Structure 1
Amino acid sequence: MTENSLQSAKLKLTCLTCGTINAFPAARLADGPKCSSCGDALADGKVAEIGLAELEKAARNDSLPLLADLWAPWCGPCRMMAPEFASAAKTLKSRARFVKLDTDRHADAAVRYAIRGIPALLLFDQGRERNRHAGAMRASQITAWVAQNID
């Protein structure tokens, strides 16, 4: 991609707070884009806790890949992986967004995505589920797995 086409390319990101779909120049991604409605950060390298409706909307509409961690508070491996997931989110800040979905609070998500074990990582890109992984991973493994599946 040439510098001119990068500057003219538009990215779309769904605000994980209010649900607004935001469009902005791809060249501005590193500047920390904010939602045009509520002002929250759109790609700040933090993990957002969301529900099924937000997950489906972002997975369907976003230009950046979206990695969802389906977990539960009672799950030991899920709790152990949480800081690793957050670390990977910071590392991949400009390449993917990271979200968590509590399967106890949103049991419909476990049914919708046929989750049989947690933690379950679902990687969405270009409106489709690209890959999934069951079981805990370290930050370096998550980062490598995402890079392998989006490059």
Structure 2
Amino acid sequence: MTDTRHIVCPHCHKLNRVPAEKLSSGGNCGACKQPLWPDRILELTDQTFATHTGRSDVPVLVDFWASWCGPCKMMAPQFEQAARDWRGKVRFAKLNTEQAQGTAGQYGIRSIPTLILFQNGREVARQSGAMNQAQISQWLQSKGFR
């Protein structure tokens, strides 16, 4: 029997079952046929947040940010580079705290940028402050991800 993982499509938000050994190689959504690992970071909203953080077997790293935040803007390209490095292992997502105030409030976001790592619907780690690509990768590794 093949070990499968659940991953939520970043386009249509449908749940997909993917063989674990093929997770990092990409693949397309069974419903909308779009790539499960696109070349862009997933933009979450109040409506899509719980679906992606709660239904996916793949860890989800969410950057809580705002457009007016200087450190958030400085960290954005570093976050994108880290997302490329971790493709197929960790889903990288962003949540604009100005547009998704409900979710930001639910997680008690007091300073931005704040990174929260979710696994199986639970928060497993949190880090506030801007980080570069190497620091993000190091932080993920320190939480047991490779």
| Aligned residue number for residue 143 of structure 2 | 149
Identity across matched positions, percent:
36
The 3-state SS of whatever aligns with 2:143 is helix
What is the CA distance between 1:45 and its match in structure 2?
5.5
| Aligned residue number for residue 120 of structure 1 | 114
Answering whether residue 42 of structure 2 is matched by residue 48 of structure 1, we say yes
Q: What's the TM-score, normalizing by structure 1?
A: 0.90
Q: Which runs of 5+ in 2 are unaligned?
A: none
Q: What's the TM-score, normalizing by structure 2?
A: 0.93
Question: When the two structures are aligned, how many residues end up with a matched partner?
Answer: 145
What is the CA distance between 1:123 and its match in structure 2?
0.2
The one of 16, 21, 25 aligned to 2:15 = 21
| Aligned residue number for residue 36 of structure 1 | 30
Answering whether residue 66 of structure 2 is matched by residue 72 of structure 1, we say yes
C-alpha separation in 2, matches of 1:91 and 1:45:
11
Amino acid aligned to 1:40: Q
Cα RMSD for the two superposed structures: 1.4
The 3-state SS of whatever aligns with 1:69 is strand
Per-residue CA deviations over 1:50-74 (Å, capped at 9, x if unaligned) read 2123221111111111000010000
The 3-state SS of whatever aligns with 2:48 is helix
Per-residue CA deviations over 1:60-117 (Å, capped at 9, x if unaligned) read 1111110000100000000000000000000111210100111111111211111000
Greater fraction of residues in helix: 1
4+ residue stretches of structure 1 with deviation over 2 A?
43-46
C-alpha separation in 1, matches of 2:103 and 2:134:
27
